[in-house]
Amino acid sequence: MSDRLGVRKTYKLYLGGTFPRSESGRSYSVSGASGEFLANAALGSRKDVRDAVVAARAAFGGWSGATAYNRGQVLYRVAELLEGRRDQFAAEVATSEGLSAAEALRVVDAAVDRWVWYAGWTDKIAQVHGGANPVAGPYLNISTPEPTGVVGVVAPRESSLLGLVSVVAPAVATGNTTVVLASETRPLPAVTLAEVLATSDVPGGVINLITGRVAETAPRLASHRDVNAIDLTGAPADLATALEVAAADNLKRVLRRPPSEPDWTADPGLGRLTAYLETKTVWHPIGV
């Protein structure tokens, strides 16, 4: 029998394409579905949220300015890497969500397929959500969708991977950058996803992941004046209304918390793709 000790993993945040510890130096204990100790994850702070927003804003110009086709290629690369770490994700999902090995593999496969699905929409959503408008006059009127900006995301609490992918991928597919608060109780698949992002072609700052207490970090994210929209899908019920009020202070787009955990295996539709798009309409005279 070998007496070798395994190399313990240090779980960190993912901000601006790097892996810092929380500026507070704190961590918290993460347990599996059956109560067993899994890891100590970084306990993000309000300062970490501010740093993440700065990174997301800095990355927005380059990411939104990239061609839609290029964004699709970049996101497809993420799916390739997700597929390559299928077994690792399945093990983490199984322990986090209390699933069997076969069930966890199905969840991971669904997450990979969901990422590919959104990657395929990057250069198609403008054709569906925009177009030429009928005008009574000698004008050409064209509406085109543009990304909203920096999107804050409170990730689902229960679905640690499929739910996470289902809320993050559509926001970045349309050219937004994100600050994501991972599931408080099931953060480990999110940290592993961050490692995938860091080794992919996604520019640093496009997706920033923070682990920790949502009650501490979400109010700062919702009230931050350089955040343009926020998804409250994973917000605790007793905190959701206060977060909406905080977001309203600077007229953020708000995707409200659903009354119950969504069925993440269902057809996602286009709702999350269009939730963070602004429509710009251009008028041009064409003569008489």
Name the amino acid, one letter, at 51.
D
Which residues sit opposite 150 in a β-bridge? 177
Of the candidates 192, 194, 196, which has an alpha carbon nearest to the alpha carbon of residue 178? 194
Of the candidates 207, 11, 9, which has an alpha carbon nearest to the alpha carbon of residue 115? 207
Q: How confident is the model at residue 139 (pLDDT cuts 50, 70, 90)?
A: confident
Residue with tokens 């679905």: 159
Domain ranges of the chain: 27-285
Q: How far is CA 181 from CA 66, 92, 100, 123, 168, in A?
A: 25, 18, 26, 27, 11
pLDDT, one tens digit per residue, over 30-58 is 999 999 999 999 999 999 999 999 999 99
Q: How confident is the model at residue 1 (pLDDT cuts 50, 70, 90)?
A: low
Q: How confident is the model at residue 173 (pLDDT cuts 50, 70, 90)?
A: very high
pLDDT, one tens digit per residue, over 92-108 is 999 999 999 999 999 99
Q: Which tokens sit at 20? A: 């810092």
From the options 3.40.109.10, 3.30.1370.140, 3.40.630.30, 3.40.605.10, give the CATH code of 27-285: 3.40.605.10
- Please tell me whether residue 47 adopts helix, strand or coil conformation: helix
Q: How confident is the model at residue 288 (pLDDT cuts 50, 70, 90)?
A: low
* pTM for this predicted structure: 0.93
